Chains A and B, each alone.
Chain A
Amino acid sequence: MNAEVRPIRTAAEQALAADYQSAKKRLPGGPAFARLREQALAAFVEGGLPHRRIEEWKYTDLRTLLREAAPLADPPDKATFARAKKFDPLPGVDVRRVTLINGSFVGELSDLVQPEAGLTILPLSRALAEGHALASRIGRLLPPYYDATLALNTAFVADGIVIGLAAGSKLARPIHVRHLFTGAAAAAAYARTLVVVGEGAIATVIESFEGPDGVAYQANTTAEMQLGDKAWLEYVRVQAEGDAAIHLATVLADIGAQAKLHTCSLTVGAAVSRQSVFLRCTGAGSETRLSGATLLRRKQHADTTLYVDHMTQGCSSREMFKSALDDESRGVFQGKIVVRPGAQKTDAKMMSAALLLGDAAEADNKPELEIYADDVVCGHGATAGALDENLLFYLRARGIPRKEAEALLIRAFIGEAMEAVPHEALREALLARAADWLAAREHAA
């Protein structure tokens, strides 16, 4: 009965391990990073892809959803550049833009000239190849448990962006890291963004993810953020991948004393997406605010999983996640707040709300508290439900057609998750993306 069960590896798992062996010679980085890659792959070979028996992946069975490992994506050809140039995912926002296509840095579409005082920004491949000081900080943050998507990213990542901000400096305009997938065949792209914000420095970083509809590509991205004491980082991500894509993201952050991390994510794309967010409040008195809006239709599946670790005293965190689920889509929210022994005066509040618009939509919510200190105020709330018929009636009684009335209410509902973004143009751009989704919904009706 207690015999060791030898896991049988799926075709995808075997293919991923084999891909690594053939790709590892081409991957950048010195011996230290090569060791990291080897360790990550060994962990993957041991742990495999997560399935529903793995508690953290209970609602997103990656073993079933990722049946085939797509081959590593080719570097982009020049013909795609022109097309990429045309489309602006966040119109009207004045940003310093850097572009990654199929996981590779594209200099022609990136603005690295004249960085402000205190800003270091360079492609990850170069940082690794040159042994840049910041490169040694990649892969330092680890989640509290084995995470397959992060392990795969560490093993395969070839490029990305490294951003360093010296102590006391302030970024004049946001940096926008744009991830694009181009190509007509399924392929896998791995990218990583490292953001190191020095003591007291202030920055806004945006990441967006897009690709063509109908192509079953796999995007695996990791963002590592290291905030020094009193640093302040605004981080916004827009996931608008193509409708057949699998998007797997890991966001890791260490937050120093009295630092501020505010994040906002908008999820509208991909057939299957997952964002795992692992935060550690390592310094006393930090402030974390996480928010997100997820808008899904048809058979889309989006999973947001948070792990907020209050390691020391006096840290506050606020989480606010909203999802609007149309048709047969499925929204998953798992949020865990951990308060370690001695992390007194922690103030944590988490809210997740799901709006069920489609008859066959499904919302799965798992807000968790794990608390080992007594002088704390922690709470969470979770709701799931349809649009309020009374509110709809009120609007319709005033002559507003049903779909429009619904759109109004949905916009009010999800707007709450985005209104905390301080950069006005950016906030407007996010709301505009949400409005596009609502417009498409009205059209479909």
Chain B
Amino acid sequence: MPAVSETVERVRSIDVDQYKYGFVTDIESDKAPKGLDESTVRFISAKKNEPQWMLEWRLQAFHRWLTLREPQWARVNYGPIDYQDLYYYSAPKSTPGPKSLDEIDPEILKTYAKLGIPLREQEMLAGVERSNVAVDAVFDSVSVVTTFKEELKQAGVIFGSISDAIREHPELVRKYLGSVVPITDNFFATLNSAVFSDGSFVYIPKGVRCPMELSTYFRINEKNTGQFERTLIIADEGSYVSYLEGCTAPMRDENQLHAAVVELIALDDAEIKYSTIQNWYPGDAQGKGGIYNFVTKRGDCRGKNSKISWTQVETGSAITWKYPSCILRGDNSNGEFYSIAISNGHQQVDSGTKMIHLGKNTTSRVISKGIAAGVSNNTYRGLISSHRKATGARNFTNCDSLLIGDKCGAHTVPYIEAKNASTVFEHEATTSKISDEQLFYCLQRGLSGEEAVALIVNGFVKDVLQHLPMEFAVEAQKLIAISLEGSVG
């Protein structure tokens, strides 16, 4: 098929440098000394004016981290990371903490405007796109601003940076922080627990349906810095929240480390919908540079009838290592995972989910779509398990992979463990390329090869796209197009 070979050719020649968020904001920043030891942890804690218990928690994590080794099991290859050659804290100088918008460095405002994230509420109200989304903007290590704070306060919703929450709502933070991802969890989560600098905190009180979408936008700007953000979302009984997360970083030749932890807690009858568009810098066409994205995301359906849904569109990062999971502890709880992972150029993706069925009559659903192009490798790795007492556990998993070009790889590594006789688990996976018949059908109807591929790819990922909030779905569709530029219109 000429159309296919043409597509392959063009994918191969894609300049991954087309990454359009790769600019650098020239701004002075306040950094911790390079390297990591106990004093770095103390420095970060002191910068944040944290209470003693928080410092102790961090130090405990740090000492634990010293005993751990970097995990090697994922299907990703990268050179050794020198953990002493990083800045663990970097904040724009002019903003020691989130303040009113007028005090924020105009450079930062410009940056977010350039990224298409309006931070001025009046602009948003004036009907600019994403008019009904409250944004927490995280720039390197600190949260610079949170919008719509007042409106949310009226509904009783707490939304802001986790640093503020530690100071203002210590009882909530102490109760829930580390209760889903303990400081002993894994190498990267433990590192994060020791040095996390900022992130978002959300608390939805009983019976409240959050009046607007909440969103955090992460931006790495500074050189040689690691970003370690921590997100904690608590949905109290009967509440609902939809949360969006986006991320970008400048183009740099060196690899930057991003090790985040996200913890979700859904109590009785609560629902959390968490959507991510991950678009960190993927590195250039030769595989130089790019973000190492090692993320631990886990949701705990703690209450009965609770529900957590993860939706992710992974297009960026040189290396992606993340497994958003659900612990289905409450009876009748429900976990969902919808994922599109696209790898191109030299990107390596090892991603998937874990659904751990503990409560009675718990259900889960996993839809994963992987698209590999260029010389990338794209792995789905997932665990579905039901425990002895989890009667009536039900799971459906579908992982499909699409290969574009013959130099890339697509892999599926599911673990399915049923320990209860009333379990019903179903798993299916397929790997193929775009079929000649499909292409022929489209071409015959006058579409160009590129349009045809675009159409088919969009159809391939549709099951997942429709689970994204409207504002995100449009952006995601655009991103997919950019990621596969050359093969997709």
Chain A residues with a Cβ under 8 A of chain B: 1, 55, 341-342, 344, 354, 356-386
Q: Is B404 an interface residue (CB 8 A)?
A: yes
Quick one: CB contact mask for B407-432 with A, threshold 8 Å, 1 for yes? 11111111111111111111111111
Q: Is B401 an interface residue (CB 8 A)?
A: yes
Question: What residues of chain A lie closer than 8 Å to B420, measured between beta carbons?
Answer: 356, 359
Q: Is B73 an interface residue (CB 8 A)?
A: yes
Q: Is B388 an interface residue (CB 8 A)?
A: yes
Question: What residues of chain B lie closer than 8 Å to A371, measured between beta carbons?
Answer: 401, 403, 409-411, 431
Q: Select one of B73, B406, B408, B418 contacting A354, CB under 8 A.
A: B418
Q: Are B433's CB and A362's CB within 8 A?
A: no
Question: What residues of chain B lie closer than 8 Å to A360, measured between beta carbons?
Answer: 388, 419, 421
Q: Are A386's CB and B423's CB within 8 A?
A: yes
Q: Are B412's CB and A55's CB within 8 A?
A: no
Interface residues of B, CB < 8 Å — how many? 37
Q: Are A385's CB and B424's CB within 8 A?
A: yes
Q: Are B406's CB and A381's CB within 8 A?
A: no
User: B388's closest neighbor in chain A, by CB?
Assistant: A360
Q: Are B411's CB and A362's CB within 8 A?
A: no
User: A350's closest neighbor in chain B, by CB?
Assistant: B429
Q: Select one of B405, B414, B427 contacting A374, CB under 8 A.
A: B405
In the complex where A369-B412, A371-B409, A384-B424 touch, is A55 in contact with B433 (Cβ < 8 A)?
no
Count of CB-CB pairs between chains A and B under 8 Å: 123
Q: Select one of A341, A359, A373, A381 contacting B427, CB under 8 A.
A: A381
Q: Are B415's CB and A366's CB within 8 A?
A: yes
Question: What residues of chain B lie closer than 8 Å to A372, measured between beta carbons?
Answer: 408-409
Q: Select one of A1, A356, A384 contacting B69, CB under 8 A.
A: A1
User: B398's closest neighbor in chain A, by CB?
Assistant: A381
In the complex where A354-B418, A361-B421, A377-B432 touch, is A382 in contact with B410 (Cβ < 8 A)?
no
Question: What residues of chain A lie closer than 8 Å to B406, measured between beta carbons?
Answer: 341-342, 344, 373-375
Instruction: Give 4 closest A-B pairs by Cβ, nearest first.
Output: A374-B403, A384-B418, A365-B416, A379-B430
Question: What residues of chain B lie closer than 8 Å to A384, measured between beta carbons?
Answer: 416, 418, 423-425
- 13 A-B pairs within 8 Å (CB atoms) are namely A363-B417, A365-B415, A370-B411, A371-B401, A371-B410, A371-B411, A378-B432, A379-B428, A381-B427, A382-B426, A383-B425, A384-B418, A385-B424
Interface centre among B66, B419, B422 (most CB of A within 10 A): B419
User: B405's closest neighbor in chain A, by CB?
Assistant: A374
Q: Are A369's CB and B418's CB within 8 A?
A: no
Query: In the complex the two chains form, what is the Cα distance from A380 to B411 in whole Å?
Result: 12
In the complex where A374-B405, A374-B408 touch, is A385 in contact with B423 (Cβ < 8 A)?
yes
Question: What residues of chain B lie closer than 8 Å to A364, measured between beta carbons?
Answer: 415-418
Query: In the complex the two chains form, what is the Cα distance from A374 to B373 in whole Å?
Result: 10
Q: Select one of B407, B410, B419 contacting A369, CB under 8 A.
A: B410
Query: In the complex the two chains form, what is the Cα distance from A381 to B416 in whole Å?
Result: 11
Q: Select one of B69, B418, B422, B428 contacting A381, CB under 8 A.
A: B428
Q: How many Å from the CB of B384 to the closest CB on chain A?
A: 9
Q: Are A356's CB and B427's CB within 8 A?
A: no
Query: In the complex the two chains form, what is the Cα distance from A378 to B428 in whole Å?
Result: 11
Question: What residues of chain B lie closer than 8 Å to A344, measured between beta carbons?
Answer: 406
User: A369's closest neighbor in chain B, by CB?
Assistant: B412
Interface of B: prevailing SS? strand
Query: In the complex the two chains form, what is the Cα distance from A356 to B393 in whole Å?
Result: 13
Q: Given known contacts A365-B425, A366-B413, A370-B409, what 11 new A-B pairs fall within 8 Å (CB)?
A: A344-B406, A356-B421, A359-B421, A360-B421, A362-B419, A363-B417, A366-B415, A376-B433, A383-B426, A386-B422, A386-B423
Query: In the complex the two chains form, what is the Cα distance from A364 to B383 in whole Å?
Result: 11
Question: What residues of chain A lie closer than 8 Å to B412, measured between beta carbons?
Answer: 367-369, 380
Quick one: CB contact mask for B167-187 with A, threshold 8 Å, 1 for yes? 000000000000000000000
Q: Select one of A55, A358, A382 contacting B416, CB under 8 A.
A: A382
Interface centre among B69, B73, B429 (most CB of A within 10 A): B429
Q: Are A356's CB and B423's CB within 8 A?
A: yes
Query: In the complex the two chains form, what is the Cα distance from A358 to B420 in whole Å?
Result: 8
Quick one: CB contact mask for B73-84 with A, threshold 8 Å, 1 for yes? 100000000000
In the complex where A362-B419, A363-B418 touch, is A368 in contact with B413 (Cβ < 8 A)?
yes
Q: Are B404's CB and A374's CB within 8 A?
A: yes
Question: What residues of chain B lie closer than 8 Å to A361, measured between beta carbons?
Answer: 421
Question: What residues of chain B lie closer than 8 Å to A55, measured between beta carbons?
Answer: 73
User: A366's closest neighbor in chain B, by CB?
Assistant: B415
Q: How many Å from the CB of B375 to the closest CB on chain A?
A: 10
User: B427's closest neighbor in chain A, by CB?
Assistant: A382
Query: In the complex the two chains form, what is the Cα distance from A293 to B435 in whole Å?
Result: 34
Question: What residues of chain B lie closer than 8 Å to A377, measured between beta carbons?
Answer: 430-432
Interface centre among B66, B404, B406 (most CB of A within 10 A): B406
Q: Are B429's CB and A369's CB within 8 A?
A: yes
Q: Are B425's CB and A367's CB within 8 A?
A: no
Q: Are A366's CB and B414's CB within 8 A?
A: yes
User: B8's closest neighbor in chain A, by CB?
Assistant: A374
Query: In the complex the two chains form, what is the Cα distance from A359 to B432 in whole Å?
Result: 38
In the complex where A55-B73, A366-B414 touch, is A376 in contact with B421 (Cβ < 8 A)?
no
Question: What residues of chain A lie closer than 8 Å to B414, measured between beta carbons?
Answer: 365-368, 382
Q: Are B425's CB and A376's CB within 8 A?
A: no
Q: How many Å from the CB of B79 to the closest CB on chain A?
A: 16
User: B379's closest neighbor in chain A, by CB?
Assistant: A370
Q: Select one of B407, B427, B430, B432 contacting A365, CB under 8 A.
A: B427
Q: How many Å from the CB of A348 to the closest CB on chain B?
A: 9
Question: What residues of chain A lie closer than 8 Å to B410, measured between beta carbons?
Answer: 369, 371
Q: Are A362's CB and B409's CB within 8 A?
A: no
Q: How many Å from the CB of A18 to the closest CB on chain B?
A: 33
Q: Are A383's CB and B427's CB within 8 A?
A: yes
Query: In the complex the two chains form, what is the Cα distance from A342 to B407 in whole Å?
Result: 9
Query: In the complex the two chains form, what is the Cα distance from A1 to B65 in whole Å?
Result: 11
Q: Are B421's CB and A357's CB within 8 A?
A: yes
Quick one: CB contact mask for B49-76 with A, threshold 8 Å, 1 for yes? 0000000000000000011010001000
Question: What residues of chain B lie closer than 8 Å to A370, measured between beta carbons?
Answer: 409, 411
Q: Select one of B67, B404, B421 contacting A386, CB under 8 A.
A: B421
Interface centre among B413, B421, B433 (most CB of A within 10 A): B421
Q: Select one of B388, B404, B431 contacting A376, CB under 8 A.
A: B431
Query: In the complex the two chains form, what is the Cα distance from A375 to B427 in whole Å?
Result: 23
Query: In the complex the two chains form, what is the Cα distance from A373 to B154 in whole Å?
Result: 56
